[in-house]
């Protein structure tokens, strides 16, 4: 996979500059003490790329991703529900205006593209837009802030950006894919959908080829959706980590140490520049995920 | 970096969040927005209606004012004619009155004059007689010559 390649490339670049020659293996597990000895750059990165993994009857679960994703979902629901409960047709408060602005923006995007009657598409798009944005926003927090706090509470590994976890992005995109299948079958019927898969775009004579093409086309949708978001956020997170290698997670604590102060300042400036760029990326990725969901679902509604 | 049960949890959470926002968030906010839009458009329509009514009322008022002006000028004309008529009649009445007064005064003066002349004549006659008496006291007796004296008085 390309992203894995990039990941490995970045890691080996980092390894070039690091003093030690540790392996880039990700840690497993979740709780327990972090080793006291100072990290090499390589170890620092792989430590930060390790999920807090707990076992469950269904298999391992990334507890950190789930926690932050659910936390952001609650934040979204809490804020929007509060305003929805108070929503009145009178003169809106500033907060209500802001919420309504977002809702109207999403509604506009949906109405521009989707012409069906489903009541699900618009709230689905809103949820994706805000939730993905909030999850992406975690990337702008200093990389070591929450993991360090976690270490103090005995959590060994913690990744705070849920959308930099393939499970989370695929969780969204596969759900969208299931909705695509649901609406395709609901609108066109099983037979209609099967016909569309088999007889388009090249007619009945090319049935196997059509089928192959169509199936790949459909399957590419959730994969591209999930990978696009994951790739952007994973790369963004990794770059923040690489920038953080300047002080190897020491951050503000090194501001007092004159020997490392230039490094800390360098980390701050680079981190600031990347954060400003990344601010655009996280909003854009949330928007793209929403727009593509709308487009895919309206395509599922179109009967040829 | 591997797919595991986190995926299933995320899908479940996603479904719940979407259902919640579909049931409890989207419709309520959308309703408020649509209601406000409606009241705003109603308000705008009402304002337009009001504007239209205002202009209609204005034309009506203008017509009324024009009519009133016309009426006023007619009334003014009538009043003027009437006034000049009254003045005219008053003038002629005055003139006739004056003439009447003058003629009455004239008559009275004439009568007075006649009366005065009568009394004057009588006095003159008396004076003449008394004069003549003084002259003729002895020769003429009033009783004897009364007839002649009366004739003389009449002649004077």
Q: What is the pLDDT of residues A202-235, one digit of tens each?
A: 777 888 888 899 999 999 999 999 999 999 999 9
pLDDT at A19: 37
pLDDT at A233: 94
- Which contacts qualify for B83-91: CB closer than 8 Å, 24 or more apart? none
Instruction: Tell me the count of A-B CB pairs closer than 8 A.
Output: 120
pLDDT at A17: 47
User: Which residue of A lies nearest to B13 if distances are taken between CA atoms?
Assistant: A70
A12 is catalytic: no
A42 is catalytic: no
Q: Parallel, antiparallel, or unpaired for β A61-62 and A53-54?
A: antiparallel
Residue A170 sits at the chain B interface (C-beta within 8 Å): yes
Average pLDDT over every residue of A248-263: 62
Identify whether B8 is part of a domain: no
Cα-based angle B23, B28, B31 (whole degrees, multiple of 5): 130
> Which residues from chain B sit within 8 angstroms of residue A103, using beta carbons?
26, 29-30, 33
Output the CA torsion B131→B133→B136→B139 (10° steps). 170
pLDDT at A254 over 60: no
Average pLDDT over every residue of A276-291: 95
pLDDT at A171 over 70: yes
Model confidence at A23, pLDDT cuts 50, 70, 90, reads: very low
> Which residues from chain B sit within 8 angstroms of residue A77, using beta carbons?
17, 20-21, 25
Contact B29 A99 (CB under 8 A): yes
User: Which residue of A lies nearest to B39 if distances are taken between CA atoms?
Assistant: A89
Q: Which two tokens stand for residue A214?
A: 């169509």
Full residue range of the structural domain in which residue B95 is found: 20-152
Question: Which residues, at least 6 apart from A187, have a Cβ–Cβ distance to it below 8 Å?
Answer: A116, A300, A301, A303
Average pLDDT over every residue of A76-105: 90
Identify whether B7 is part of a domain: no
Distance CA A288, CA A291 (A): 5
Contact B4 A62 (CB under 8 A): yes
Residue A126 sits at the chain B interface (C-beta within 8 Å): yes
Identify whether B88 is part of a domain: yes
pLDDT at B68: 96
The catalytic position among A12, A93, A97, A224 is A224
User: Which residue of B lies nearest to A53 if distances are taken between CA atoms?
Assistant: B6
pLDDT at A11 over 80: no
pLDDT at A246: 75
pLDDT at B132: 79
Distance CA A73, CA B18 (A): 10
Identify whether B92 is part of a domain: yes
When the pLDDT of each residue in chain A is averaged and rounded to a whole number, the result is 84
Residue B7 sits at the chain A interface (C-beta within 8 Å): yes
pLDDT at A253 over 70: no
pLDDT at B139: 64
Distance CA A222, CA A296 (A): 10
A210 is catalytic: no
Model confidence at A5, pLDDT cuts 50, 70, 90, reads: low
**Ranges of chain B whose pLDDT falls below 50:** none
Identify whether B97 is part of a domain: yes
Distance CA A8, CA A24 (A): 9
pLDDT at A153 over 50: yes
Q: How far is B40 from chain A (nearest CA, A)?
A: 10
Identify whether B5 is part of a domain: no
pLDDT at A21 over 50: no
Q: How far is B32 from chain A (nearest CA, A)?
A: 5
pLDDT at A174 over 70: yes
Q: Which two tokens stand for residue A213?
A: 């093409």
Distance CA B96, CA B93 (A): 5
Average pLDDT over every residue of A38-63: 83
Report which of residues A22 and A255 the model is more confident about: A255
Instruction: Tell me how crowded residue A62 is: count the other CB atoms within 10 A of its CB.
Output: 29
Give A103-145 pLDDT, tens digit per residue: 999 999 999 999 888 889 999 999 999 999 999 999 999 888 8
User: Which residue of B lies nearest to A173 if distances are taken between CA atoms?
Assistant: B11
Share of chain A above pLDDT 90, in %: 47
pLDDT at B41: 95
Residue A253 sits at the chain B interface (C-beta within 8 Å): no
Identify whether B14 is part of a domain: no
Q: Which two tokens stand for residue A150?
A: 């976690």
Q: Indicate the range of A4-13, A105-114, A273-282, B78-87 predicted with least confidence.
A: A4-13
pLDDT at A1 over 70: no
> Which residues from chain A sit within 8 angstroms of residue B8, using beta carbons?
58, 171
Identify whether B91 is part of a domain: yes
pLDDT at B110: 94
Number of domains in chain B: 1
| Residues 15-74 (A) with a CB less than 8 A from some CB of B | 26, 49, 56, 58-62, 65-66, 69-70, 73
Average pLDDT over every residue of A51-66: 89
The catalytic position among A7, A125, A232, A298 is A232
- pTM metric for this prediction: 0.74
Contact A172 B14 (CB under 8 A): yes
């Amino acid at each position: 996979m390309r992203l894995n390649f990039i990941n490995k490339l970045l890691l080996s670049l980092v390894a070039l500059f690091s003093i030690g020659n540790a392996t880039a293996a990700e840690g497993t597990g979740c709780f327990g003490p972090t080793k006291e000895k100072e990290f090499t750059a390589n170890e620092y990165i792989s430590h930060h790329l390790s999920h807090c993994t707990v076992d469950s009857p269904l298999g391992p679960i990334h507890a950190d991703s789930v926690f932050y994703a659910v936390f952001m979902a609650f934040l979204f629901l809490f804020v929007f529900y509060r305003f929805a409960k108070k929503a009145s047709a009178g003169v809106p408060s500033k907060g209500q205006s802001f919420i309504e602005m977002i809702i109207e923006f999403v509604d506009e995007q949906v109405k521009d593209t989707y012409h069906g009657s489903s009541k699900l598409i618009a709230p689905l798009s809103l949820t994706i837009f805000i939730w993905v944005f909030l999850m992406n926003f975690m990337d702008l927090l200093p990389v070591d802030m929450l993991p360090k706090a976690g270490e103090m509470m005995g959590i060994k590994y913690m990744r705070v950006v849920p959308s930099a976890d393939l499970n989370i992005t695929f969780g969204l995109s596969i759900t969208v894919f299931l909705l695509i299948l649901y609406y395709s079958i609901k609108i066109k019927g099983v037979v209609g959908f099967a016909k569309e898969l088999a007889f388009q775009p090249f007619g009945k004579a090319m049935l196997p080829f059509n089928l192959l093409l169509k199936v790949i086309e459909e399957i590419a949708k959730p994969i591209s959706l999930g990978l696009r978001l994951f790739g952007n956020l994973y790369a963004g997170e990794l770059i923040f980590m690489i920038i953080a290698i300047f002080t190897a997670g020491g951050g503000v604590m090194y501001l007092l140490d004159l020997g490392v102060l230039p490094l800390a300042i360098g980390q701050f400036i680079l981190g600031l520049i990347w954060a400003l760029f990344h601010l655009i990326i996280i909003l854009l990725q949330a928007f793209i995920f929403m727009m593509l969901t709308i487009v895919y679902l309206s395509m599922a509604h179109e009967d040829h | 970096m591997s797919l595991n049960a986190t995926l299933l949890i995320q899908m479940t959470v996603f479904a719940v969040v979407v259902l919640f926002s579909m049931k409890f968030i989207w419709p309520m906010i959308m309703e408020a927005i649509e209601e406000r839009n409606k009241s705003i458009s109603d308000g705008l329509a009402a304002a337009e209606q009001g504007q239209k009514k205002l202009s209609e009322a204005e034309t009506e008022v203008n017509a009324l004012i024009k009519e009133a002006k016309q009426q006023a000028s007619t009334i003014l004309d009538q009043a003027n004619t009437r006034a000049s008529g009254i003045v005219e009649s008053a003038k002629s009445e005055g003139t006739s009155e004056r003439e009447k007064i003058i003629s009455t005064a004239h008559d009275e003066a004439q009568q007075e004059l006649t009366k005065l002349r009568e009394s004057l004549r009588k006095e003159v006659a008396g004076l003449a007689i008394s004069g003549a008496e003084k002259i003729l006291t002895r020769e003429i007796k009033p009783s004897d010559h009364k007839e002649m004296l009366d004739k003389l008085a009449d002649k004077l």
